[in-house]
Structures are given as structure tokens and as C-alpha cells.
Amino acid sequence: MNQAVSQDSRRTTPNGTTRFRSFCAPDEIRRYTFSPQFGAHATYRSLYTKRESLEKNAEKPDTNVSLALSEDDLIIGFGVLAYPGHGERWAELQPQVMMEVKAIEVCRSWRSLGIAKGILEMLLCHPLREDKIIYMVGYSWTWDLDGTKKTAQQYRGMLIRLFEPFGFLEYQTNEPNICLKPENLFMGRVGSRITPETEKGFKWLRFGMTP
């Protein structure tokens, strides 16, 4: 379970006031309703289609599940910051140094209202953020291009504009899944307490090597 204290913020949008909550515990998540818009669409499927998936993530150590809630406690957006799974390249650097923004999603009717930015703010209010290398992977085949009416490149640009203000930089990597498509994206944020040796290890790891 997570020891971090949950934070709360609010933002007024044309759809009403949105509340953002960080470090939501499973019990808290169970109190809210999951928007049915997080489901399968014609050309797109949400990363999580069940509230239970968020609850399971929230049980893991250091994991930050952040939610965006409408006035009637409907989950209209969510984000998950967690350690990479065993066997993933990014888990190899050092134990629990790298954390992944595993998900950040806003339901279709609440997009373009700054909700994703609010969720990301909540994810990154993590007390260990300066001790971690936080990264995100953008696979173009998971993007809702149909719902956003964007090209893959425009969507990619939108993600870069979302993450850059929080200190994320775009990095090259030979990770095979990321390399499958040039529009795929890998960004990282190196915490201020990361040592130069660890940062160097991160660089080499991006190319599947050890120094």
C-alpha cells in the first residue's frame, strides 16, 4: 500500500468543476463510478475498461493512481504512475529507480479541457519523483486518433507538449516495440537526485547495453 498523502485540486471547466485526486486508495476508487466512455470504440480501446484495474494498480507499492472526477463523482480521467513490470527493459537499471507513466486517459467528452494536464500534475506530485527516472512510452496504435481527429504525428506532438513542461525530454531508444513505428514516442524525466552514473546507465539501457 502507498504511504503518500493524497492531494486534491480543482479546476473549473465548461463541463463543470473537475476534482483531481492523487494516490487514490482502492477503497476510494471503489466509491466512484467509472465513465462508460472508457470502453471499446470502433478504432480504439481504452487502456483500462474496468475500475477494478485501477484498484489493483493502487495496491502496489509507491504506485500513484490519480483520478479526475466530475461533480457527480464520475471518473472522467485517470493516470497511473508505477514501476515497470518484471522482464521489462526499464526494470533492469537498478531496483525501483525507473517509474512509468503507465496510463493517462481522459474520456472523450472531457477532452481538450486541460484534464490530462491536471492528472499529470497529480501523478508527478509523487514524494519520490526526484529520486526516480520517470518515463512514458507512446505507442501510436493505442492512440484515439479517431476520437481526437488528429493524425498520429499531431497526436505525438500533443503528447510532447503535454509532458515537456513537466521536465520530460524525448529520448532515442532501440527498444524493439518503440522502434516498430517512427511515430512512437519515448520521453523521460530524470530526477534531480539521480546520480550521473545512474543517468549514464539510463542512456546505455536505452540502447540495450550496459556501460
Applying CB under 8 A, among 25, 74, 128, 152 the residue interacting with other proteins is 152
Q: Mark 22-61 with x for binding to other proteins (rule: CB under 8 A) and - for no binding.
A: ---------------------x------------------
Alpha carbons 77 and 37: distance in angstroms, whole number: 10
Alpha carbons 186 and 188: distance in angstroms, whole number: 7
Q: Mark 155-194 with x for binding to other proteins (rule: CB under 8 A) and - for no binding.
A: --x-----------xxxx-x-----xxxx-----------
* Candidates 15-23, 51-59, 88-96, 198-206; binding stretch for other proteins (CB under 8 A): 198-206
Applying CB under 8 A, among 11, 140, 158, 198 the residue interacting with other proteins is 140
Alpha carbons 47 and 77: distance in angstroms, whole number: 11
- Which CB sits closer to other proteins, 47 or 169? 169
Contacts of 131 (CB under 8 A, 6+ apart): 97, 191, 193, 194
Handedness of CA 50, 55, 60, 65 (dihedral sign): positive
Alpha carbons 101 and 83: distance in angstroms, whole number: 9
Radius of gyration of the chain (CA): 17
Q: How far is the CB of 203 from other proteins (least distance, A)?
A: 6
Q: Which residues here bind other proteins, judged by CB under 8 A?
A: 43, 140-141, 145, 151-153, 157, 169-172, 174, 180-183, 203-204, 206-207, 209
